Amino acid sequence: MPKDESCLSPVETGFDGIGLYPGLLDGPAQRALMAELMAALETERPYRPHMPRTGKPWSIHQMNFGDLGWVSRPDGYAYSSTNPVNTRKWPAIPPALLALWDLVGHYPAPPECCLVNLYDTPKSRMGLHRDEDEAALDAPVVSLSLGDTCVFRVGGFARGDKSRSFRLASGDVLVIGGPSRLRYHGVDRVIFGSSRLVPGGGRINLTLRRVTKPA
Ligand code: MD3
Ligand code: FE
């Protein structure tokens, strides 16, 4: 990863406020982070969330790092300082991810949540939704993709608005902010077997978010 941002600027995605840094993490950086993740996942087992109210299981597994983890509960989505399955506090956000936030986030406070989404089967996907559970909507969302390439979809501000898809590959970083922060988005599908980074295959997405407004 570059040490400063003098040589760093995102590729335009066609959406105002959504910047893409293709391959910002090179192979060695991806493998180092994967090793750190694998170690963390030994003690913090990813779990399968269920949709609020319907109780339908998601097609992915999740866990969090940070002071506040994003969780799906029977009565809705929320941020929680503890893991609903093991009742313990979430592990700290790995330093490499805090450095990534500093590099591309351009926000005066650190992230409080790193949601880890594990797309671990060929059927894993994420339906169109908006990220609207954060009070700090002025902060960007920083997303890192690892492993298999996915087909990612971005739409408008209402569910039926026209949308466009593009691919996110391993090492790609997406920064979503400003006028696009509340756009609908989702993961149509994962191109299973397109990368060898994740043992057993699949895609891992790490999403850094500021939840509360800084004091
Ligand atoms: C575009 N995760 O966890 S992260 C999520 O790849 C989530 O696992 C996806 O959406 C994943 O909520 C995408 C990138 C992302 C995050 C927020 C956005 C893209 C966005 C908000 C608006 C537009
Ligand atoms: Fe989202």
The per-residue pLDDT for range 21-56, each reduced to its tens digit, is 999 999 999 999 999 999 999 999 999 999 999 999
**Mean pLDDT, range 167-192, rounded to an integer:** 98
**Mean pLDDT, range 164-189, rounded to an integer:** 98
| Residue 173 belongs to a domain | yes
Count up the domains in the chain and report the number. 1
| Residue 157 belongs to a domain | yes
Q: Is it the case that residue 159 has pLDDT exceeding 70?
A: yes
Per-residue pLDDT tens for 61-77? 999 999 999 999 999 99
| Residue 97 belongs to a domain | yes
Domain at 199, CATH number: 2.60.120.590
What range defines the domain where residue 50 resides? Answer: 17-209
What is the rounded CA–CA span in Å between residue 28 and residue 5? 20
Q: Which residues pair with 80 in a beta bridge?
A: 69
- Give the residue among 103, 91, 74, 79 at the shortest CA–CA distance from 1: 103
Q: Is it the case that residue 6 has pLDDT exceeding 80?
A: no
Ligand 1 contact via 126 beta carbon (within 6 Å): yes
The confidence score (pLDDT) of residue 8 equals: 87
Give the residue whose CA is nearest to atom 21 of ligand 1.
181
| Residue 6 belongs to a domain | no
Which ligand minimizes its atom distance to the CA of 154?
A: 1
| Residue 155 belongs to a domain | yes
| Residue 11 belongs to a domain | no
Give the residue whose CA is nearest to atom 13 of ligand 1.
186
Ion ligand 2 nearby residues (CB, 5 A): 131
